[in-house]
């Protein structure tokens, strides 16, 4: 007991204990201060800046104690000009106070795109190329007399032809002008399918690359394999587009001639 009392009464030991106590308190205070300054464990949810102006972004960042920098431009037609269209980090990410958000702003002018030469392309291929380039394509293509059916002859904007290689604003609406498959300037005309057996008519339509429209079998009582075509719309010799469907009416061989339309009948009324 005397030895223990003597040990703690020793000045050196007392100083050592005081130094340890002061150091411990200092470390604790420093740790608390660092945690407070760095907000250890604190995070901020990144807002979605899409569609916001720079003024709105600035206010939102000040409120959240974030920084921002506009580092790139892009173009999205459906969003207002000079608003944000992309950001990093992404919305709802968790970041620390003072983090910089990098933004992409929507350009006030659409980028210009060069019109590729599509003269060796068919309709479907041309549409894909144009849409991938950022153009809008009119779903109703135009047709002109030309043996190359379905192949692109030219491209028009607002009814006016545009040369290949012309630079146009992204999003411009284009109309394709295609060959109709006709051999002369009279244009494409419907073939005569009246009088054909049904299965031969279907084969002929495929051979002519025509689209089968409505098949009216109201007057058919026998088997389809014996049916004959007694009427068609559009009629034989009428001017058509390759995309126009050909509708047919079929009946039994015995009643075929009785149902043939008179030359003066208005066929369109029965469609």
Give yes or no for residue 270 having a pLDDT over 50.
no
Domain ranges of the chain: 44-106, 112-179, 198-270
- Look up the pTM and report it: 0.59
Fold identical between 44-106 and 112-179?
yes
Q: Which helix (H) or strand (E) holds 179?
A: strand 173-179
CATH number at 112-179: 3.30.10.20
Q: What is the pLDDT of residue 22?
A: 76
8-state DSSP, 50: B
Q: 121 is written with which tokens?
A: 């392309």
- What's the CATH number for 44-106? 3.30.10.20
- pLDDT tens digit string along 140-175? 999 999 999 999 999 999 999 999 999 999 999 999
- Mean of the pLDDT values across residues 221-228? 95
Alpha-carbon span 146 to 241, nearest angstrom: 12
Task: Name the more confident of 263 and 270.
Answer: 263
Cα gap 220→223, rounded to integer Å: 8
Q: What is the per-residue pLDDT across 186-214, written as a single tens digit (0 to 9) for each?
A: 889 999 999 999 999 999 999 888 999 99
pLDDT of residue 19: 74
With tokens 């005569």, the residue in question is 192
């Amino acid at each position: 007991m005397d030895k223990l009392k003597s040990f703690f009464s020793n000045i050196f030991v007392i100083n050592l204990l005081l130094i340890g106590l002061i150091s411990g308190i200092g470390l604790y205070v420093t740790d608390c201060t660092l945690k407070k300054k760095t907000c250890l464990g604190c995070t901020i949810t990144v807002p979605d800046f899409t569609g916001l102006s720079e003024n709105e972004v600035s206010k939102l960042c000040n409120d959240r104690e974030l920084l921002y920098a506009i580092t790139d431009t892009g173009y999205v037609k459906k969003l207002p000009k000079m608003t944000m269209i992309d950001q990093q980090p992404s919305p709802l990410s968790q970041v620390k106070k003072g983090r910089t958000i990098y933004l992409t702003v929507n350009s006030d002018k659409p980028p210009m795109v060069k019109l590729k030469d599509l003269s060796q392309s068919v309709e479907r291929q041309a549409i894909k190329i144009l849409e991938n380039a950022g153009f809008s394509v009119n779903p109703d293509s135009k047709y002109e007399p030309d043996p190359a059916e379905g192949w692109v002859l030219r491209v028009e904007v607002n009814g006016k032809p545009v040369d290949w290689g012309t630079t146009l604003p992204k999003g411009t609406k284009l109309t394709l002008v295609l060959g109709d498959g006709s051999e002369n300037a009279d244009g494409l005309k419907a073939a005569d399918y009246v009088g054909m057996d049904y299965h031969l008519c279907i084969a002929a339509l495929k051979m002519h690359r025509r689209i089968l429209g409505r098949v009216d079998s109201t007057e058919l009582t026998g088997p389809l394999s014996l049916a004959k075509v007694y009427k068609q719309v559009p009629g034989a010799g009428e001017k058509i587009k390759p995309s126009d469907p050909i509708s047919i009416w079929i009946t039994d061989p015995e009643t075929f001639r009785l149902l043939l339309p008179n030359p003066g009948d208005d066929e369109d009324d029965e469609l």
